[in-house]
Structure 1
């Protein structure tokens, strides 16, 4: 099996109202990359928020008393803390220089997923309002324009409990089941798998993030070719990747 990870390097800086599906097609043509049946297109969440006009002007935020208190505790800008509170439905843990929260979507991550990189000074981008719906909209637009059977993942970069470094994760999914449930299959020794479920959408997002990078790489869209995922056919969403609260042994 051969898997190719191809980054689109000619995507322009995104502004509100941009049609991401059209930009993907135009860039793929410029770079002589044919979008084919079975391709998985991974899109950085930052450009999705930009295209949807979902940005935060930190200079215009007036922090409340809770934000001011948490800012003193963490050393963060009180305006950023207020933005984090507005994007969160639960604060999980607060410490020096960090706030872990549960976002409105149900993701547990630092700073409610708000990103201050790759935007103008004083601005920030939260996670898209509904990344699953956006992934589906972009996918259907690409299918209508190209007639190809593809999947779309919207990816974010997040840290992980008990491990250093951040990795790509799927926050929006369309055209595939993000979980590969292998329970009931057998291993090399014939033993039945009891609990094995693979977060394939996260693995794909993480692979794409190697090209996307975190600094000035300028590659917000990656095309994955050659991953034969017929076993994942379906219409799952990123919600399938969230562990139910009653099974969250750390909270």
Structure 2
């Protein structure tokens, strides 16, 4: 039996980070706690990025309009649970497209990410009711990277998956690395040319980070991935599908949840 390799990619959390508050310098807090290498990938949970950027809000900041009251009422009929029209208003204001209205709100955020409730968090929000996603996570990642010795930063979130139970880590913003690694035109071990394989690298890094970050009260919001090599491949930043090529989204537009 072969021994386990002594070298390879490692993933470890940044310890002892404080509760993040508005205008905290995430890069400085990380640099004080770990010696980074230039090729490290620093994965930062969107929750702490949002807290540092002041993206905490109160429900009262979102007075419900007619559309929000309509959406909340339909959700109540579909689920049998009371729904807050002000929360529905917040979701609408943080979205550019509402793909599903029932039995939950599936939305496209202003930066292209498709997720439930526009990614708005209602847990662990000191000083407010809601934690909104960063406005421009790519810019957030670049700003954090500029203050680190490491050049690559991924802003992560967790969300569910179609056709599967459970949540996993995904990237919502990134800097210093392409989002995807393109294998098309290369060959497999049998010499056949690969025609469709494009690997969503930033999502895979986010998922690896989420494994060691943990969840709930014991979680840590920043994880370092060390010795990940992108390799000699073409790269792409096309992570979020365009509507024209998103056949699932097109199918949803012709579908309606029947709640009668």
TM-score above 0.5: yes
Q: Is 1:21 matched up with 2:22?
A: no
Whether 2:96 is the aligned partner of 1:89: answer: yes
Q: Which one of 5, 8, 21 corresponds to residue 2 of structure 1?
A: 8
State the shift of 1:63 in Å.
1.1
Is 1:52–2:53 an aligned residue pair? yes
Q: Which deviates the most, 120-129 or 159-168?
A: 120-129
Quick one: distance in 2 between partners of 1:128 and 1:232? Answer: 30
Q: 2:38: which partner in 1?
A: 37
Q: Residue 257 of structure 2 aligns with which residue?
A: none
In structure 1, what is the equivalent of residue 85 of structure 2? 78
Alignment partner of 1:155 is 2:156: yes
- Note if contact 1:169-1:201 (Cα within 8 Å) is conserved in structure 2: yes
Q: Pairwise mapping of residues 1-251 of structure 1 onto structure 2 (< 5 A)? A: 2-28=8-34, 34-75=35-76, 76-96=83-103, 98-120=104-126, 122-143=128-149, 149-231=150-232, 237=237, 240-250=238-248, 251=250
Give the TM-score taking structure 2 as reference length: 0.86
CA distance in 2, matches of 1:198, 1:229: 11
CA distance in 2, matches of 1:77, 1:92: 19
Over aligned residues, Cα RMSD in angstroms?
1.8
2:183–2:233 contact (8 Å) kept in structure 1: no
Contact 1:59–1:122, Cα closer than 8 Å, also in 2: no
Kindly state the Cα deviation for residue 150 of structure 1 after the two structures are TM-superposed.
Answer: 2.6
**Alpha-carbon displacement from aligned partner over 1:175-214 (angstroms, at most 9, x marks no partner):** 1111000001111211110010000100000111112233
Structure possessing the higher radius of gyration over alpha carbons: 2
Cα deviation, 1:115-170, whole Å, max 9, x if unaligned, reads 11221375211110111011111111114xxxxx5310000111122221111111
1 CA distance for matches of 2:61 and 2:207?
34
Q: Is the Cα contact below 8 Å between 2:121 and 2:131 reproduced in 1?
A: yes
**Which stretch shows the higher mean deviation, 190-199 or 66-75?**
66-75
Take 1:122 and 1:14, find their aligned partners in 2: how far apart are those partners? 14
Check whether the contact 1:179–1:232 (CA below 8 A) recurs between aligned residues.
Answer: no
Query: Contact 2:38/2:151 (CA < 8 Å) preserved in 1?
Result: yes
Return structure 1 stretches of 4+ with deviation > 6 angstroms. none
Which runs of no fewer than 5 residues in structure 1 stay unpaired?
A: 29-33, 144-148
SS in 2 for 1:155: strand
- Any unmatched runs of 5+ in structure 2? 1-6, 77-82, 251-260
User: How far off its partner does 1:232 sit?
Assistant: 6.4
Aligned residue pairs total 237
8 Å Cα contact 2:64-2:88 kept in structure 1: yes
CA distance in 2, matches of 1:60, 1:87: 13
